[in-house]
Structure 1
Amino acid sequence: MQSTSQGVLLLLLLVLFFTTVGLGIAYASQRTEGRAVQGQRDNLLSIGRLLQEVLVEVRNTWGSLPATEEEGGDLVELGRQISVCLPSLFKHLGGAASFTQRKLTSQDFAAAGLHEQFTRIEELMPAKGGGDIPGLWASRRFIDLMAMLKSVQIASSRERVALREQSQRIEGNPLLALLRNKASANEIVEEVHLQVRQLAIATGREDPDAEHGLQVLRAVVDVLCHRRDRMKKPLTLGVLVRAVGGGMEQMYRECTADAEGPGGGWRPEYKALKEYIDSLPGWDGRLPFNPVTRATHNAYANSVLRVLLQVA
């Protein structure tokens, strides 16, 4: 009888022991999970604050853009009104877990104090809402509003390019006028740079070597303007195209001979050319260019040549 009682007591002790161990493990696990959840919550709050600040900066950037007809007109105004809505909507609806996935209604805008902006966007939409802008506004999730800003920016950039091209067709390309009027090297470089950017926006194709292309342009234009002003040599569009394209080696050979002549030293107008040639991969100081140097130069000059040939 006593043996049986001892067995039952031992069993109870074992049950109590394992129960205590189990509870301890469960408590430790719950505590760890609680810390993880708290960490995730803190991270989400930090991300939310950062996004709020980013949206405010986006609003400020659009607010600083002019909305004149020449600079994009109603499209810029449309982008401005959308950018005003983003931080207020995020702040007002950020606590709702599903707000990013559902369509935002006029009541959502009104509750966030944006009834006027909602009405203004509706007014602007038929006038300049080309491309995917109307579809994004129709679905009107928060992410769609952000996508609208990108579409508006692209559309307004294309509109500015179209307006400028229309003006050029009437008045002639500004580069031709600069060459005729013997403009300075800086003015010529700035105009070609502008047209390179406009062509990239209009076609949607950015040339990764565009910055190197401007280095090519600077090197060539400095030399050609010096020869025009000091040696009375013509500087026409054809001369510029040949120099940027296949005439670089001959130009470098002539400038080197000049530097090695009486008086010696590279003229200030030739230094940009020397620095560019010296920076080319594979350049070993010998002419003609080796295949690597020539191929690199052709790639660098491509963005500039595209513009010059389009002008021609």
Structure 2
Amino acid sequence: MRLVFAGTPEVAVTALAAIVASGHELVAVVTRPDAPAGRGRKLVASPVAEYAEQLGVEVLKPVKPSDPEFLERLRELAPDACPVVAYGGLLPQAALDIPEHGWINLHFSVLPAWRGAAPVQHAIIAGDDVTGASTFRIVKALDAGPVFGVLTERIGPHDTAGVLLTRLAESGAKLLVDTLDGVAAGVLEAREQPADGISIAPKLNVEDAELDLHAPAHRVDRLVRGCNPAPGAWTTFRGERLKVLETELTDEELAPGELRTTKSTVTVGTGSKAVRLLTVQPQGKKPMLAADWARGVRITDEDRLGPVADAGEQSGS
């Protein structure tokens, strides 16, 4: 099949590489426009754009997928299908109608669970034991199109969103190519999603990533893992934001927000058992071992994590 691939972040490059290695013909790539990045805020091409340019493949960067110039070029390319992985743009019906076999999306959940921009993060935060990936034909409703294929993946007790997404990107790339093969051969048909079991996974923002140290330890640990690498779970220490990038559960007993340190460990209380801080990132600094951070700030018996003003209010609720 003639394909136009749509994707933007690094996780999409894995699938793009698998398509390049397949028997299908990649005629162009669609990605988001260059965006400012780094301290200098210079415009930087997306990982998908960089990879495609190395291949010598035409790259389309419409500001909006509804732009007439983009739609006209897509018609000229005449793709049979448009595989999609984390593109990030809202596709109009005019674009969806161009390829005969539609836009075939690789989504990192077992649909209809976790429709939306952050399915892996929400699966971890919710405490799911299993997640996976699905390929489906895009329709106007959010991640609601008929499904071609599904795979499942166990969520390990220490998996972060980044680690789990890397695994799913690899297995999902094979699923996407297998789906394209089946569609091309005329042996694979999409089936409508079940009407029940729908859950939504909106993009996580900084406010969503604030730790509630009055919550049980397992919920604190899940939020830390689900927000790693982005947006990064956080709390406050001496009035400044402290990102918490890695934790582990313990059997220790401490009051919510209470800190206990040794030469090699930092432990903080939650609403149940305490959790051990392994990696943290102070405001304006690079990630570091929690024990190194604790030695640098010289934690006292009075120090706590979390908003001091809210502690009494929360404990009484």
Which category of TM-score, normalised to the shorter sequence, fits these structures? under 0.3
Question: In proportion to residue count, which structure has more helix?
Answer: 1
**TM-score, normalized by length of structure 1?**
0.28
Larger Rg: 1
The structure with the largest strand share of the pair is 2
TM value normalised by structure 2 = 0.28
